Amino acid sequence: MNLFADAFAWILNPGNWEGRNSIPQFIGEHLWYTVLAMILASAIAIPLGWYIGHTGRGRDIAVAATGAARALPSFGLLFLFVMIGGVANRDSSVMIVLALLAIPPILAGAYAGFEAIDRRVIDAARSMGMTERQIVARVEIPLGLPLLWGGLRNAVLQVVATVVLVGFVRNATLGYPIVQGIQINRFDQMLGASVLIIVLALLLDAIFALLERYATPAGVRAGRNRDHRTSSTRRRAAGGATPASTEKEMSV
């Protein structure tokens, strides 16, 4: 299709890579809004989620609130906040909206991470003489990390997609070439910016997927590996020779 060729031509056009309102600037702004919103949302949602996960208090409210918040119309919310806050404060309004969107998945990841831990492990930690603070810091946080990273990953996808709306209130982010493109009928620019947003989202998702994997404590990963091994006897049988490492493990 010609349109796609035009879009890539717009992306690759050297003129769009320098000066004011260039692609690098838009990407930088896009990431800036995303990171700031994630930090803001994490600062609120992670401690709150850990508190809920550790104490069990407010769990019902959190579940209901996160469920409802997922249905928030981001576009409407943004304009509502900009109208209430005034155009002069529109950056704060944007941040609040983005953070509001990011909080539910982060909150859910934080408390679900704690809840997924075997109660007997926590009971054992407590009966050994760990204080509540030590239980949180040394048992619950490390064991809850994988699910928290999963929540952060969901949140960052949501935010990076929603930052586009910033283009409606400010000449910034990859949303701006789209908004401007609508006004001046530049389809190459609109599609080109969209492609860049998709690439950005996929990249961030890949990074968070890696972090999520890395955050899984080694001992938990070790257990999972063993599960894989025991569940795949047929494949091993089909494969013939057992790897030496597996044999060593089994003989213990």
Partner 1 sequence: MIEFRSIEKLFPDGTRAVDDFSLVIPSHKTTVFVGSSGCGKTTLLRMINRMVDATGGELLIDDENVASIEPVRLRRRIGYVMQNSGLLPHRTVIDNITTVPRLTGVPTKDARARALELMDTVGLDRAMAERYPAQLSGGQQQRVGVARGLAIDPNILLMDEPFGAVDPIVRAELQQELLRLQRELGKTVVFVTHDIDEAFLLGDQVVILEKGARIAQKGTPEEILANPASDFVASFIGADRGKRALSIRDVDGERVVVDGDGNLAGRLTEPGAA
Q: Is 171 left (phi over 0), alpha (psi -120 to 50) or beta?
A: beta
Closest to partner 1 by CB, 70 or 138 = 138
217 binds partner 1 (CB under 8 A): yes
Q: How far apart are CA 39 and CA 46, in angstroms?
A: 10
Closest to partner 1 by CB, 60 or 123 = 123
Q: How far apart are CA 246 and CA 252, in angstroms?
A: 10
Q: How far apart are CA 166 and CA 20, in angstroms?
A: 17
Closest to partner 1 by CB, 213 or 226 = 226
Closest to partner 1 by CB, 118 or 238 = 118
* DSSP assignment of 48-106: HHHHHHHH-TTHHHHHHHHHHHHT--HHHHHHHHHHHH-GGGHHHHHHHHHHHHHHHHH
Which of 24, 58, 219, 239 is in the footprint of partner 1 by CB under 8 A? Answer: 219
- Rounded to a whole number of angstroms, the minimum distance from the CB of residue 137 to partner 1 is 12
User: Residue 69 in contact with residue 154, Cβ under 8 Å?
Assistant: no
- Rounded to a whole number of angstroms, the minimum distance from the CB of residue 209 to partner 1 is 20
User: Residue 77 in contact with residue 169, Cβ under 8 Å?
Assistant: no
Region from 22-30, 167-175, 178-186, 223-231 binding partner 1, contact rule CB under 8 A: 223-231
Q: How far apart are CA 210 and CA 191, in angstroms?
A: 29
User: Which letter does DSSP use for residue 17 in this model?
Assistant: G
Binding to partner 1 (CB under 8 A) within 185-214 occurs at none
Closest to partner 1 by CB, 119 or 234 = 119
Region from 22-30, 100-108, 156-164, 221-229 binding partner 1, contact rule CB under 8 A: 221-229
- Rounded to a whole number of angstroms, the minimum distance from the CB of residue 207 to partner 1 is 23
Site size with partner 1, rule: CB under 8 A: 27
Closest to partner 1 by CB, 55 or 131 = 131
Angle between helices 141-162 and 23-55 (to 10 degrees): 140
- Rounded to a whole number of angstroms, the minimum distance from the CB of residue 27 to partner 1 is 37
x-or-dash string of contact with partner 1, 104-143, rule CB under 8 A: --------------x-xx-xxxxxxxxx--x---xx--xx
List the one residue out of 147, 57, 35 whose CA is nearest residue 102: 35
The two counts, helices (H) then strands (E), for the chain are: 14, 0
61 binds partner 1 (CB under 8 A): no
- Rounded to a whole number of angstroms, the minimum distance from the CB of residue 220 to partner 1 is 5
Closest to partner 1 by CB, 20 or 120 = 120
Which chain residues interact with partner 1 by CB under 8 A?
118, 120-121, 123-131, 134, 138-139, 142-143, 217-220, 222-224, 226, 249, 252
